Chains A and B, each alone.
Chain A
Protein backbone atom coordinates (compact mmCIF):
# COMPACT_ATOMS: atom_id res chain seq x y z
CA UNK A 1 0.00 0.00 0.00
CA UNK A 2 1.07 3.53 -0.68
CA UNK A 3 2.13 5.47 2.38
CA UNK A 4 4.01 8.43 3.77
CA UNK A 5 6.78 7.84 6.30
CA UNK A 6 8.94 10.09 8.45
CA UNK A 7 12.25 9.42 10.12
CA UNK A 8 13.42 9.57 12.75
CA UNK A 9 10.26 9.40 14.88
CA UNK A 10 12.07 10.93 17.83
CA UNK A 11 15.20 13.06 17.88
CA UNK A 12 17.10 14.84 20.61
CA UNK A 13 19.78 17.27 19.55
CA UNK A 14 21.78 20.17 20.89
CA UNK A 15 21.52 23.85 20.11
CA UNK A 16 23.53 24.81 17.07
CA UNK A 17 23.61 21.40 15.41
CA UNK A 18 22.29 20.79 11.92
CA UNK A 19 19.38 18.35 11.83
CA UNK A 20 17.61 16.76 8.88
CA UNK A 21 14.18 15.19 9.11
CA UNK A 22 13.20 12.81 6.34
CA UNK A 23 9.83 12.49 4.62
CA UNK A 24 9.14 9.83 1.99
CA UNK A 25 5.87 9.13 0.18
CA UNK A 26 5.00 6.40 -2.27
CA UNK A 27 1.79 7.91 -3.68
CA UNK A 28 3.67 9.71 -6.44
CA UNK A 29 2.13 12.95 -5.19
CA UNK A 30 3.57 16.15 -6.58
CA UNK A 31 2.60 18.33 -3.60
CA UNK A 32 4.46 17.92 -0.30
CA UNK A 33 4.29 19.98 2.88
CA UNK A 34 6.08 20.36 6.19
CA UNK A 35 4.22 21.53 9.29
CA UNK A 36 5.10 22.04 12.90
CA UNK A 37 2.62 21.53 15.71
CA UNK A 38 2.91 23.40 18.98
CA UNK A 39 0.55 23.88 21.90
CA UNK A 40 -1.33 27.12 21.51
CA UNK A 41 -0.44 27.46 17.82
CA UNK A 42 -1.89 24.41 16.18
CA UNK A 43 -0.39 23.33 12.88
CA UNK A 44 1.71 25.85 10.96
CA UNK A 45 3.19 25.55 7.51
CA UNK A 46 7.00 25.63 7.29
CA UNK A 47 7.79 24.87 3.63
CA UNK A 48 6.03 23.27 0.71
CA UNK A 49 6.76 21.96 -2.76
CA UNK A 50 4.59 21.52 -5.84
CA UNK A 51 7.07 19.31 -7.65
CA UNK A 52 10.69 18.41 -8.30
CA UNK A 53 13.02 21.41 -7.94
CA UNK A 54 10.16 23.54 -6.62
CA UNK A 55 10.22 24.81 -3.01
CA UNK A 56 8.31 27.60 -1.28
CA UNK A 57 8.34 29.24 2.13
CA UNK A 58 5.44 28.91 4.49
CA UNK A 59 4.46 31.10 7.42
CA UNK A 60 7.24 29.90 9.79
CA UNK A 61 10.15 29.17 7.46
CA UNK A 62 12.97 31.03 9.28
CA UNK A 63 15.72 28.59 10.31
CA UNK A 64 14.47 25.80 8.03
CA UNK A 65 15.23 24.71 4.48
CA UNK A 66 13.99 22.02 2.12
CA UNK A 67 15.08 20.56 -1.18
CA UNK A 68 13.14 18.47 -3.68
CA UNK A 69 15.34 16.35 -5.93
CA UNK A 70 12.75 13.66 -6.65
CA UNK A 71 9.00 13.15 -6.33
CA UNK A 72 9.12 10.86 -3.29
CA UNK A 73 11.22 12.85 -0.80
CA UNK A 74 11.14 16.26 0.86
CA UNK A 75 13.78 16.43 3.62
CA UNK A 76 13.54 19.27 6.12
CA UNK A 77 16.82 20.72 7.42
CA UNK A 78 17.31 22.83 10.51
CA UNK A 79 20.50 24.68 9.70
CA UNK A 80 21.39 25.51 13.32
CA UNK A 81 18.90 24.05 15.75
CA UNK A 82 17.41 26.36 18.37
CA UNK A 83 15.35 25.55 21.45
CA UNK A 84 12.41 27.35 19.84
CA UNK A 85 12.41 24.61 17.21
CA UNK A 86 11.48 21.96 19.75
CA UNK A 87 8.20 20.73 18.30
CA UNK A 88 6.39 17.90 16.57
CA UNK A 89 6.91 17.97 12.81
CA UNK A 90 4.47 16.53 10.30
CA UNK A 91 5.00 15.93 6.63
CA UNK A 92 2.03 15.70 4.26
CA UNK A 93 1.42 15.13 0.58
CA UNK A 94 -1.40 15.62 -1.89
CA UNK A 95 -2.13 14.97 -5.52
CA UNK A 96 -1.51 17.76 -8.01
CA UNK A 97 -3.84 18.85 -10.70
CA UNK A 98 -7.07 19.49 -8.83
CA UNK A 99 -7.95 22.43 -6.62
CA UNK A 100 -9.45 20.37 -3.83
CA UNK A 101 -6.67 18.01 -2.86
CA UNK A 102 -6.93 15.77 0.18
CA UNK A 103 -3.73 15.86 2.20
CA UNK A 104 -2.27 12.70 3.72
CA UNK A 105 -0.09 13.09 6.78
CA UNK A 106 2.94 11.21 8.01
CA UNK A 107 3.21 9.88 11.59
CA UNK A 108 5.23 12.84 12.83
CA UNK A 109 8.71 13.44 14.25
CA UNK A 110 9.12 14.68 17.80
CA UNK A 111 12.22 16.90 17.93
CA UNK A 112 13.76 18.15 21.16
CA UNK A 113 16.51 20.77 21.03
CA UNK A 114 18.47 21.03 24.29
Chain B
Protein backbone atom coordinates (compact mmCIF):
# COMPACT_ATOMS: atom_id res chain seq x y z
CA UNK B 1 0.00 0.00 0.00
CA UNK B 2 1.34 3.42 -0.99
CA UNK B 3 1.95 5.95 1.76
CA UNK B 4 -0.05 8.52 -0.23
CA UNK B 5 -3.28 7.48 -1.91
CA UNK B 6 -5.36 9.67 -4.18
CA UNK B 7 -8.93 9.19 -5.31
CA UNK B 8 -10.32 9.04 -7.81
CA UNK B 9 -7.57 8.07 -10.24
CA UNK B 10 -9.58 9.44 -13.15
CA UNK B 11 -12.29 12.06 -13.07
CA UNK B 12 -14.45 13.39 -15.88
CA UNK B 13 -16.67 16.42 -15.41
CA UNK B 14 -18.77 18.87 -17.35
CA UNK B 15 -17.82 22.52 -17.41
CA UNK B 16 -19.21 24.32 -14.40
CA UNK B 17 -19.29 21.31 -12.06
CA UNK B 18 -17.83 21.32 -8.56
CA UNK B 19 -14.89 18.91 -8.34
CA UNK B 20 -13.28 17.20 -5.36
CA UNK B 21 -10.04 15.24 -5.39
CA UNK B 22 -9.05 13.39 -2.25
CA UNK B 23 -5.68 12.52 -0.74
CA UNK B 24 -5.12 10.17 2.18
CA UNK B 25 -1.76 9.43 3.74
CA UNK B 26 -0.59 6.89 6.26
CA UNK B 27 2.44 8.64 7.78
CA UNK B 28 2.80 11.61 10.07
CA UNK B 29 3.48 14.71 8.01
CA UNK B 30 4.69 18.25 8.48
CA UNK B 31 3.04 19.65 5.33
CA UNK B 32 1.23 18.67 2.16
CA UNK B 33 1.61 19.93 -1.42
CA UNK B 34 -1.00 20.00 -4.15
CA UNK B 35 0.60 20.11 -7.60
CA UNK B 36 -0.83 20.52 -11.10
CA UNK B 37 0.59 19.10 -14.31
CA UNK B 38 -0.92 19.86 -17.71
CA UNK B 39 -0.45 17.29 -20.50
CA UNK B 40 3.14 17.39 -21.69
CA UNK B 41 3.80 20.21 -19.29
CA UNK B 42 5.74 21.07 -16.22
CA UNK B 43 4.66 20.76 -12.61
CA UNK B 44 3.21 23.77 -10.82
CA UNK B 45 2.72 24.12 -7.09
CA UNK B 46 -0.87 25.04 -6.27
CA UNK B 47 -0.83 24.92 -2.49
CA UNK B 48 1.28 23.92 0.43
CA UNK B 49 -0.56 23.56 3.71
CA UNK B 50 -0.10 22.07 7.14
CA UNK B 51 -3.49 22.88 8.66
CA UNK B 52 -6.90 24.30 7.87
CA UNK B 53 -7.81 25.62 4.46
CA UNK B 54 -6.31 27.71 1.66
CA UNK B 55 -8.06 29.34 -1.28
CA UNK B 56 -6.72 30.69 -4.54
CA UNK B 57 -9.25 31.76 -7.11
CA UNK B 58 -11.52 28.80 -7.85
CA UNK B 59 -9.26 26.36 -6.03
CA UNK B 60 -9.66 25.42 -2.38
CA UNK B 61 -7.47 23.01 -0.45
CA UNK B 62 -8.27 21.62 2.97
CA UNK B 63 -6.40 19.34 5.31
CA UNK B 64 -7.38 17.36 8.41
CA UNK B 65 -4.21 16.30 10.18
CA UNK B 66 -6.00 14.04 12.69
CA UNK B 67 -7.75 12.11 9.91
CA UNK B 68 -4.67 12.16 7.64
CA UNK B 69 -6.72 13.48 4.77
CA UNK B 70 -6.70 16.41 2.36
CA UNK B 71 -9.06 17.53 -0.37
CA UNK B 72 -8.64 19.76 -3.38
CA UNK B 73 -11.84 21.42 -4.61
CA UNK B 74 -12.37 23.21 -7.90
CA UNK B 75 -15.45 25.39 -8.16
CA UNK B 76 -17.05 26.23 -11.52
CA UNK B 77 -14.69 23.89 -13.37
CA UNK B 78 -13.43 24.86 -16.82
CA UNK B 79 -11.80 22.84 -19.61
CA UNK B 80 -8.49 24.57 -18.86
CA UNK B 81 -8.57 22.85 -15.45
CA UNK B 82 -7.99 19.56 -17.28
CA UNK B 83 -4.69 18.28 -15.88
CA UNK B 84 -3.14 15.77 -13.53
CA UNK B 85 -3.40 16.80 -9.89
CA UNK B 86 -0.76 15.37 -7.59
CA UNK B 87 -0.76 15.22 -3.81
CA UNK B 88 2.64 15.07 -2.10
CA UNK B 89 3.56 15.05 1.58
CA UNK B 90 6.56 16.00 3.66
CA UNK B 91 6.99 13.15 6.11
CA UNK B 92 7.29 14.28 9.73
CA UNK B 93 10.84 12.94 10.12
CA UNK B 94 11.97 13.44 6.51
CA UNK B 95 13.32 16.97 6.02
CA UNK B 96 12.69 18.45 2.59
CA UNK B 97 11.78 15.22 0.78
CA UNK B 98 8.36 14.71 -0.74
CA UNK B 99 6.41 11.46 -1.07
CA UNK B 100 4.01 11.61 -4.01
CA UNK B 101 0.61 10.18 -4.74
CA UNK B 102 -0.05 8.62 -8.13
CA UNK B 103 -2.04 11.59 -9.36
CA UNK B 104 -5.64 12.19 -10.42
CA UNK B 105 -6.33 12.74 -14.12
CA UNK B 106 -9.05 15.37 -14.47
CA UNK B 107 -10.84 16.00 -17.75
CA UNK B 108 -13.38 18.79 -17.97
CA UNK B 109 -15.60 18.79 -21.05
CA UNK B 110 -17.16 21.99 -22.42
Residues of chain A whose beta carbon lies under 8 Å from any beta carbon of chain B: 31, 33, 42-45, 48, 50, 58, 90, 92, 94, 96, 99-108
Q: Would you call the interface of chain B mostly helix, strand, loop, or mixed?
A: strand
- Complex contacts, A94 vs chain B, CB 8 Å: 96
Q: Is the CB of B96 within 8 A of A48?
A: yes
Q: A58 to chain B: closest CB distance in Å? A: 8
How many A-B residue contacts, CB cutoff 8 Å? 54
Interface flag for B56 (CB, 8 Å): no
Identity of the chain B residue whose Cβ is nearest the Cβ of A108 in the assembled complex: B42
Query: With the chains together, A33 CA to B99 CA distance in Å?
Result: 13
Q: Tell me the minimal C-beta distance from A9 to chain B in angstroms.
A: 10
- Inter-chain contacts of A104 with B (CB < 8 A): 45
Instruction: With both chains docked as a complex, state the minimum distance between the C-beta of B94 and any C-beta of chain A, in angstroms.
Output: 10
Tell me the smallest distance from the CB of B36 to a CB of chain A, in Å: 10
Q: How far is the CB of B67 from chain A (nearest CB, A)?
A: 19
Mark contacts of B11-38 with chain A using CB atoms, 8 A cut-off: 1 yes-contact digit, 0 otherwise: 0000000000000000000110101000
What residue of chain B has the Cβ atom nearest to residue A56's Cβ?
B97
A50-B45 CB under 8 A given contacts A42-B101, A42-B103? no
